[in-house]
Structures are given as structure tokens and as C-alpha cells.
Chain A
Amino acid sequence: MCVGDTVSKIDIECRVNGKLSRLQAYPMARLLDILREELHLTGTKEGCGEGECGACAVLMNGAIVNSCLIPAVEADGEEIRTIEGIASGAQLHAVQDAFLECGGAQCGICTPGMVIAAVALIDRHPHPGDAEIREGLAGNLCRCTGYQKIFAAVVRACEAADTPLSGNR
């Protein structure tokens, strides 16, 4: 497989937002770059590139991960959900609706990761307490909002999720 100082690309097959994707990538290419550059899913952002800021967060087999720290080969055979796969068509997810309602987004760089973190949190704890919300969002940095509106959006999303027709949870 090694030719000189470089390796060949390998075949990777994974399900992204429900759709089977087949592509070729260098083994250590980052999932983040595959999503953005190969699959043109540019909703996932790059912030720090070292697993600190959460801007590149996606769901892998339902669990939140930082896609900047996942080598492409590790995504082979796995189920990935990005921010583009959170809404159902034109129907926003309850979390997305709540972010709009509460002004949880400003510049927008952290927003996809924040929404992913909130969805991951609510999937596991449909009624999170304040501490759980803080812990659920602790891996996502925001430089604009001061976090209060994001926090409020998660609280709102949980209330909304309790009433039917509010989202696709």
C-alpha cells in the first residue's frame, strides 16, 4: 500500500444522513474534511481543529464526536449524522426551532455543533436539569452569545418536545 513516502487512498463506505456514501480517502484524512470537501456538507465547521471547540461535532452511531479527530478509515461502515441531517425536509428539529426563537445563534460558526450537542443531550435526557444542559454543551465554545440564549434554547426545545407536532424528535 505504501508507495514511497505516501500511501494510497482507500475505499470507504458509510451512511451519512441516511444516505450510503462511497468514496476514496487517505486513511488519516479527517472525517471533517471528507464531509466538507468530498460530500460538500459544509454545515459542519472547523474551529480549533484539535477537539476543544466542538464546531465540527457530528453524531457517529448516535453519539456526539468531534469530526476533526476521526480518521476517515474509522468512519468506514459507520452511521454519520451531520447538521444537514437534523431537520426532516422543511420541518426543523425542535432544537433548531428553539435556537431561532431564543436567538441562540449569532455569527453561526458554533451553531451546527451546538445544535448537534443539544440533540445528543436531549436524545439521552429528554428532560435535562440545568447542570446536565451545561455539561451537555460544555464541549462547544461560542464567542458571541455568552451562552445564555443557547442555554435558553435547549430549555425551550425540551418544553417544545413535550408537545406533539413541534419537531421530529
Chain B
Amino acid sequence: MRAYIPSYDLRIPGSLTEALGLLAREPGIWQPFAGGTDLMVLLEAGKLSHKRFLSLSKLADLRGIEVTSDSVILGALTTYTEIQRHSVLQAEFPLLCAAARETGSIATQNRGTLGGNIVNASPAADSPPALLVYDAEIELISERGVHWLPYHGFHTDYKKMHLAPDELLRAIRLPRRAKPWRQYYRKVGTRKAQAISKVCFAGAAQMEAGTIRDIRIALGSVAPIVLRAVKTEDALRGAKLGPEIIARAKETLAREISPIDDIRSTARYRLRVTQNLLEEFLSHLGR
């Protein structure tokens, strides 16, 4: 059933100071609203229980992509379209561009934001696996101050995260790497386009004469949060690539994830596909 529209408020603060003031005075009352591509779907379905929202759309402090010598800093309101069109992101962070390109339709990519994808906290979100692989950091801001923290660990459980009710996610920082990494991204859904993932896999590795010098693996849709597969990474780091290590890594990964049966897929299918994607990723590294 559709929601009763007059019962919902959407306030548009003109400045970051005004927004943070409102969040500080009435914590928990106002929920941030970025591109709205998830929240409006819930509204339409009559499933949006929260009633008061704070639109971030006019907050210039949350926009823009800044490139420095050692990092790229994306404002939380950076859209999927802006990500795809940015030359430095294309060259150095292709997994994030691939994720942006596979998120919904172009109409969704024009509205949906990176910050919204993080704070909406869906375990099936497309960009967080890429952010984990890139060791992203995030900036939280409130009247109490500003602090940066690693994105890895930000989500603690299904839809739970280290974000106080008076805080906003302001920016996402991606450290630039001196040496190029081999990178892999694959999203498996019901269709090739316009589908929410059954499994989403992002990986990056540094190879040296057939040995995995360093590796990062992150997965969506196979746990209550988007997962960095640290145990699988540990099993692979320093190893010489070959069939045995690949088989061992697949076993480790099976123990590390906790896929479930839901409307989009089954635990069994997700496990098998996740292992296959790991194998595909590792096979690419051997080439």
C-alpha cells in the first residue's frame, strides 16, 4: 500500500552548519536523504517507517571529487555518473567505476550517491566491495567535530554502523597506489543489467614472478554486511599461484562467508558462485 505522503517531512537545509545544528538538536529525529533512489522505493511501497528526512542536496560541502598527490577524495554526494566520468577514477580505481556502471539504470546513476550507498548499508550494495579493496577511509562530521576512520569495520551488522545520530558522512578517501594492482570486479545478478546482485566480488592483487605479493578481496550479498575476506587474503598472501592454493583459498572463503536464502538467491548458489568468482579472479592473476 502506498504511503500517506502528507505525513512525511523532507527539510532542505541551506548550509552544512544548519544541517549539523538540526541533527545535534534533534538527534535521531532527522534521517539524511541523499539521492533518494532507495528511500523513495520504500516510500512508494509503504515501507518507509521513518517520517522526517534531512535533504543533503543543497550541501556543496558534500559534493565534488578532489585529487591530491596521494589520494582521491569524493564528496558523499558524488553520483555514480560522476564516478564513471572521472578520468583519475577511470585510470586508477576501475573497480569503483565498474560498480557505478552496474548500479541500476542511468537514471538511477544520475541520482544515486556513493555516500548513500554506504549509509543505506545494504549488504548487496555494489560500490562497497570496491571501496574495501581500495582501503577507503571515510570522514564523519558533526557539531562535535570531524574524524576520519577506515571504511573497513564501519558496518558492524545488518544495517548497523558506526554513525552517531548527529553525524553525517561527508567524504570518502581513496589512497592512490604507487604501483598498479591487478584488478577484478564481477557482479552476478538475475540479469546482466538492472539487477540487484546475488553475489558481488571485487579483488585486487600485486603479483611478483607468479607469487601473490599482496591481495584484497571483498564481497557483497554473502554476509549481513559487505565483507572483506581477510582470512582468504591471509591464505593467499605470499603464496605461489597454483591449483592447490586456489583450492585451499576456496575452502577458506567458504568458511568466511555466511550467505542466506532470500528473494534473490539461495545460500547454496551464492556459495558456489562466490568460489567460482574467486577461482576466476585468481586464474586471471596467473595469466
Contacts and interface: CB of A to CB of B under 8 A. Distances in A.
A16 interface: no
Contact of B107 (A1, A49, A54, A135): A54
Given A27-B10, A54-B107, A65-B107, A138 B44 contact: no
A69 to B, nearest CB: 4
Nearest to B48: A28
Contacts, number: 97
Contacts of A1: 9
B111 A65 contact: yes
Nearest to A141: B194
A66 B108 contact: yes
Nearest to A9: B6
Given A7-B7, A26-B5, A50 B44 contact: yes
Interface residues of B, number: 30
A36 B81 CA distance: 28
Q: Is the interface of A mostly helix, strand, loop or mixed?
A: mixed
A102 interface: no
B194 A139 contact: yes
B193 A138 contact: yes
A140 B193 CA distance: 11
Interface string A44-68: 0000011110100100100111101
A73 B105 CA distance: 23
Q: Is the interface of B mostly helix, strand, loop or mixed?
A: mixed
A71 B36 contact: yes
Contacts of A73: 10, 12, 55
B36 A26 contact: no
B104 interface: yes
A29 interface: yes
A71 B10 contact: yes
B105 A138 contact: yes
B104 A139 contact: yes
B110 interface: yes
Interface of A: 1-2, 5-7, 26-30, 49-52, 54, 57, 60, 63-66, 68-71, 73-74, 76, 117, 120, 135-136, 138-140
10 contacts: A27-B11, A30-B5, A66-B108, A69-B36, A69-B37, A69-B41, A71-B40, A73-B12, A138-B105, A138-B193
Please provide the 3 A-B residue pairs with the shortest distance between their CB atoms, ordered closest to farther.
A139-B105, A28-B8, A27-B10
